[in-house]
Amino acid sequence: MTRRRLLILAGLLLFAAEPARAEATLTVGAIYVGSVNDYGYNRAMKDGLTAMKEAVPGITLLEAENVPETAEAERIMEGMIQQGAKLIFATSFGHQQFAFNLAKKHPDVVFEHAGGWMQAANFGNFFAATQAAWYPMGVAAGKMTKSNTLGFVAGVPIGFIIGDVNAFALGARSVNPKAEVRVVVTGSWADKAKEAEAANALIDQGADVITMHVDSPATVIQVAESRGVYSIGFQSIEARALAPKGWLTGLGFTWGPFMTATAKSVIAGSFKPAMVRQGLGEGMLAVAPFGNAVPEETRGLVLAAVDKIAKGYNPFTGPLSDNTGAVRLKEGEALGNDKMGDFDWYVAGVIGKAK
Amino acid sequence: MSTPFAAAVLSSSVLSGTSLLYATLGELVGERAGIVNLGLEGIMLIGAAAGFAATSFAGNPYLGIAAAALAGMAGNLLLGYVVIGRGANQLAAGLALLFFGFGASTLIGRPFMGAIVTGLPRLALSELGAFDLLVWLALPAALLLWCLIFRTRWGLALRAVGEDPAVAFAAGRRPGQLQYQALALGGLLGGIGGAHLSLALAMTWDEGMTAGRGFIAIALVIFAKWNPLWAVAGALVFGAAEALQLQLQARGAYVSPFLMTMIPYLLTLTILVFWGWSRRSAAPAALGRNFFGVE
Amino acid sequence: MPRDLALALRSPAALAVQHRVPRAVAIALASLAIFAVLLLAAGKDPFRAYRDTLLYVFGNAYGFSELLVRMTPLLLTAVAVALPARLGLINVGGEGQLYMGAWLATAGALGCPDLPAWLLLPLMTAFGFAGGAIWALLPGLLRAAKLVNETISTLLLNYVAPLIVSFFIFGPWRSAESASYPQSPAFVEAARLPSFFGTRIHLGLIYGLACLALYGLVMSRTRWGLEMRAIGGNAEASLRLGIPVAGYVIAVMAIAGGIAGAAGMAEVSAIQGRLVAGLSPGYGFMGFLVAWLAGGSAAGILAMAFLFALFSSVGDILQITQGVPYAVVNLLMAVMLFIVLGQRRPSRSGA
């Protein structure tokens, strides 16, 4: 059989085998850096996509988990495009370059990347402005700690995460000037054994409130719970199920509305690329319910802080010094949202080296 | 209340090194019989996944340990069949087992991902601290294995097979059978090593979560001169390398985690060079059918 | 048919191929069958997966190109194993040598960003080769001096190399531009190996094929190849015949490491565009298996690399279309390996 006939036959087979495809309004592809069952980052992304799928009829969702932040990602996304995807969500920071490469190749496909900064006509960037949202978390931690040592397990030490730590510390010290934050970096978004060891190390150093910015809060929270210390969750508010006794509060992403809106705009042909950064109160971030351990007075303080942030308070306003004493922000200066990725210093009260 | 630094590092090293120790002991037994298993990482993964799956299913982490041990044993017996029964190249067979372990563990663990399990509880059996059962049993396990290898007839036969299977055969031993037994025991220990990660340390399952510990254990066997007691020291050293840098970070001192993690490997290599120089090799002579040792 | 052709078809090489190809196909099919059973047990549809893979790989330019992209590093790492194997040496250090090649090539790219491509690329290739060569040189020296067996030394150094890379991308080479995400700065255009046909197939493929052809030629037609086979057969006797065994050990290990290093350079220059942590998903180990399955023959390496790449594509398809984690495809490779391993064969040197 000639090659041409073989190809035609193959095409017919493909066509014949997938009749349902013709009815889909939109095929959406999504790549996750880890497993969606992580009570964390990937779970939140999945929940958002599920909400989108329910809100918009006729969406076919293609998903791939455990897609590494290397050139492999390009292969997977291209595969999805071959399967007809016209909207791709590249959900992890390290997927950016590869999604961008493909965006140049496929001008008819829309790409949305989470957490980066690149933009093109068919490439948008979205994330929640997490940094300021950590401020109320710090308030909770600062009030609840008895040892005045707070522990933070950080995954990959990018500027955005350093900003999270800083806001956390600023919030804690706003209600408890003696509070200190100790940071341990695991070097990876998801290395469970290291996270467990890091959490243990922090608790050994006296931390009695533990929090984290890694993909899955599960391990850190479980370690904290098993050693009887408080925990503050991140990524997904479902994580509170892991710590019935020690849960204080937490932050979770709610991507549903944004993803739904994006899908609708792609279907309508009205997609406009943007650098979307929504803070607390704008729909992408939610504060988890309080744990039983948190007294009324503290709840009030935390909610007041949440309100303050939602109304536009920027914790990164001068005068502000880093933890070596050097002045970083003078009176009247402030760091805007666009500068959040540039952090390479910790504020006073954080024990650790950022660079 | 913060614990003194040394105590914290020791505690972390012990916690970190326990899974390493079990895996090392498992590899050690097999190598004493002359079989090198490059797929130890795969065995640990299978143990971690099976242990987690069983615990999630049955609600009991001790059952999980049993499941992990059995799964590890099965994996090693597969290696045994191919190497002993079919005479295959040990290195290739080990790597095949490695791939097998990655794939099988993913398949086993996938339905249970994200499940919340009651991990192994910490028991304060002495004032040294509160650790889970596997940690408490680690040192006794090493001691028992030492007795087994050096103080029993079985152990003597095992070592004979590892030195020269032909001579052992002539002396009336059954090399194949002994090697199977050694591999079974080795797989059991390796599986338990994996289970400690998923049931005690991280209390979850994730693809590839052993992160190279199986290979570290293979290096550790050499570091320990194929002796279970030295393996304990080695596991502490390797465990400390990781624990130390995290503890140092928590204290605010920064040491490159990568440089620290490199040290044990370089140390092992240096020790090997030293042995080669002094013509001392503690390796079983027929290990890997004349791969190891210097011709 | 013409007499020359008839004679050629009866040559040992041709007979070997006629013998081996049907057997290899049978093994591949058996592996796919067993894997299909496993998939069915897990509730997935293997036939759809296989069909989709064939369509993807053979009916689709991108799919086929990605197959070649996957094959490329395997060709190089397999030769890096096959070459020393001729001497009876076992090089399991392909991973580490690949990483060190990538590392040194990055040093070249970052250090000389202003050179034009026709200077920079050969420079980076040389650096990549050198990086891997140095990494394999140490085990080679240790083995030649009869201090440490190369199996163990290359295995240990496998773990040190990625740590060195991580140290640099978290530290001195950390790119400030991407929010301090641990990776090197992006390579300039001149430092990127060119790609063809608008796909990701890159010059590394030529490197691989050239290495393979060179390897086959040297082994079968040169004096070096003959001497190497002599050493592999009986090192003692070769020494007595005056063949410089130690010299060969050192040189061959270095060259093998260099070839693996070139694979690292190609990956980092053509595919990644910068130095990152997860550079190799096990190319070194897969190269070992490819070389081993191929029995060290150049044609065999080509075929086996193709097969491994094909199996990898099955993994991709399963992940995209059926939500099966890619890692499960390791089972397919393992099944094939166990089938091959399980065939009783007389022990031969290097086995």
Q: pLDDT at position A311, please?
A: 87
pLDDT classification of B279: cutoffs 50, 70, 90: low
* For B88, nearest residue in chain C (alpha carbons): C341
Task: Quote the tokens at residue C194.
Answer: 């060119």
Q: Beta-carbon neighbour count of residue B171 at 10 Å?
A: 10
C62 contact partners, CB below 8 Å, separation of at least 6: A78, A82, C199
Q: pLDDT at position B232, please?
A: 95
pLDDT classification of C349: cutoffs 50, 70, 90: very low
- With beta carbons less than 8 A apart as the criterion, state whether C63 and C196 touch: no
- Minimum-distance CB partner of B246 among A43, A190, A201: A201
Model confidence over C8-31: pLDDT tens digits?
677 776 676 666 677 778 888 999
Model confidence over C231-282: pLDDT tens digits?
888 888 888 888 888 999 999 999 999 999 999 999 999 988 889 888 888 8
- Minimum-distance CB partner of B104 among C235, C289, C331: C331
- Most confidently modeled of B236-250, C81-95, C147-161? C81-95
pLDDT classification of B49: cutoffs 50, 70, 90: very high
**Measured between beta carbons, which residues in chain A are less than 8 angstroms from residue C271?**
71
A173 and A226 fall within a common domain: yes
* For A206, nearest residue in chain B (alpha carbons): B2
A257 contact partners, CB below 8 Å, separation of at least 6: A51, A283, A284
CA distance B191 to B42: 9
Model confidence over C121-170: pLDDT tens digits?
999 999 999 999 999 999 999 999 888 888 888 988 998 999 999 999 98
pLDDT classification of B6: cutoffs 50, 70, 90: confident
3 state DSSP class of A97: helix
C265 contact partners, CB below 8 Å, separation of at least 6: C101, C102, C105, C124, C125, C127, C128, C129, C131
CATH number of the CATH domain containing A14 = 3.40.50.2300
- CA-to-CA separations, C216 to B135, C83, C212, C257, C301, in angstroms, rounded: 53, 10, 6, 18, 10
Q: pLDDT at position A34, please?
A: 87
- With beta carbons less than 8 A apart as the criterion, state whether A94 and C182 touch: no
- Binary contact (B82, C171; C-beta < 8 A): no
B123 or B45: which carries more pLDDT confidence? B45
Interface check for B197 against chain A (CB to CB < 8 A): the answer is yes
- Binary contact (C159, B216; C-beta < 8 A): yes
C44 or B126: which carries more pLDDT confidence? C44
Give, in words, the CATH class of B7-277. mainly alpha
**Measured between beta carbons, which residues in chain A are less than 8 angstroms from residue B206?**
34-35, 190, 192
3 state DSSP class of B219: helix
CA distance B264 to B283: 19
- With beta carbons less than 8 A apart as the criterion, state whether C99 and C279 touch: yes
Q: pLDDT at position B1, please?
A: 43
- A184 — phi, psi (to 5°)? -125, 130
ipTM: 0.84
Strand runs labelled E in B232-272: none
Please say if the pLDDT value at position B291 is more than 60. Answer: no
- Minimum-distance CB partner of A14 among C55, C181, C182: C55
Beta-strand relationship, A285-287 and A247-253: antiparallel
Please say if the pLDDT value at position C79 is more than 90. Answer: yes
Interface check for A245 against chain C (CB to CB < 8 A): the answer is no
- With beta carbons less than 8 A apart as the criterion, state whether A223 and A24 touch: no
A49 and A169 fall within a common domain: no
Model confidence over B95-115: pLDDT tens digits?
899 999 999 999 899 888 878
- Over residues A50-72, the mean pLDDT reads 90
- Binary contact (C292, B98; C-beta < 8 A): no
Model confidence over A137-146: pLDDT tens digits?
999 999 999 9
Please say if the pLDDT value at position A18 is more than 50. Answer: no
pLDDT classification of A355: cutoffs 50, 70, 90: low
- With beta carbons less than 8 A apart as the criterion, state whether C77 and C287 touch: yes
A243 and A149 fall within a common domain: yes
- Binary contact (B114, A185; C-beta < 8 A): no
- Minimum-distance CB partner of B250 among A36, A201, A241: A201
- Over residues A209-221, the mean pLDDT reads 92
A139 and A231 fall within a common domain: yes
CA distance C65 to C57: 8
* For C323, nearest residue in chain A (alpha carbons): A64
Please say if the pLDDT value at position B136 is more than 60. Answer: yes
Task: Please state which CATH number belongs to domain C47-340.
Answer: 1.10.3470
Q: Count A/B contacts: CB-CB distance under 8 Å.
A: 108
- Minimum-distance CB partner of A62 among C56, C320, C327: C320
Helical axes C46-58 vs C12-41, angle rounded to 10°: 130
Q: Smallest CA–CA separation between A158 and chain B, in Å?
A: 16
- Binary contact (B242, A39; C-beta < 8 A): no
Q: pLDDT at position C350, please?
A: 38
Task: Quote the tokens at residue A46.
Answer: 């999945």
Please say if the pLDDT value at position C198 is more than 90. Answer: no
Query: Which of A203-217, B260-274, B276-290, C143-157 has the weakest average pLDDT?
Result: B276-290
State what percent of residues in chain C have pLDDT above 70.
Answer: 93
**Measured between beta carbons, which residues in chain C are less than 8 angstroms from residue A64?**
319-320, 323
CA distance C215 to C209: 10
A198 and A231 fall within a common domain: yes
Please say if the pLDDT value at position B4 is more than 70. Answer: yes
Model confidence over B210-242: pLDDT tens digits?
888 898 898 889 888 899 999 999 999 888 887
The tally of domains found in chain A comes to: 2
Q: pLDDT at position B286, please?
A: 67
Q: pLDDT at position B288, please?
A: 63
Identity of the residue numbered A6: L
pLDDT classification of B3: cutoffs 50, 70, 90: low
Model confidence over C283-338: pLDDT tens digits?
998 999 899 888 888 989 999 999 999 998 888 888 888 878 888 888 998 999 89
pLDDT classification of A294: cutoffs 50, 70, 90: very high
pLDDT classification of C348: cutoffs 50, 70, 90: very low
pLDDT classification of A236: cutoffs 50, 70, 90: confident
Q: Hey, of A2, A32, A70, A353, which one would you mutate to test binding to chain C, going by the most C CBs within 10 A of its CB?
A: A70
A93 and A73 fall within a common domain: yes
pLDDT classification of A117: cutoffs 50, 70, 90: confident
- Binary contact (B15, A351; C-beta < 8 A): no
Q: pLDDT at position A19, please?
A: 44
Q: Beta-carbon neighbour count of residue B122 at 10 Å?
A: 15
Q: pLDDT at position B295, please?
A: 32
A212 and A328 fall within a common domain: yes
DSSP code, position C187? P
DSSP code, position C186? P
A121 and A216 fall within a common domain: no
A299 and A193 fall within a common domain: yes
- Minimum-distance CB partner of B277 among C92, C147, C170: C147
- With beta carbons less than 8 A apart as the criterion, state whether B228 and B143 touch: yes
Print the domain residue range for A34: 3-129+255-278
Q: pLDDT at position B91, please?
A: 87
Q: Beta-carbon neighbour count of residue C12 at 10 Å?
A: 7
A29 and A171 fall within a common domain: no
A33 contact partners, CB below 8 Å, separation of at least 6: A41, A42, A66, A67, A68, A69, A91, A92, A94, A95, A189, A190, A215
**Measured between beta carbons, which residues in chain C are less than 8 angstroms from residue B215?**
155, 158-159
The residue extents of the domains of chain B are 7-277
**Measured between beta carbons, which residues in chain A are less than 8 angstroms from residue C270?**
none
- With beta carbons less than 8 A apart as the criterion, state whether C175 and C274 touch: yes
Please say if the pLDDT value at position B281 is more than 80. Answer: no
Model confidence over B152-171: pLDDT tens digits?
999 999 999 888 877 777 77
Model confidence over A75-101: pLDDT tens digits?
899 989 988 999 999 999 889 989 999
CA distance C319 to A126: 25
CA distance A48 to A54: 10
Task: Quote the tokens at residue C72.
Answer: 């490329």
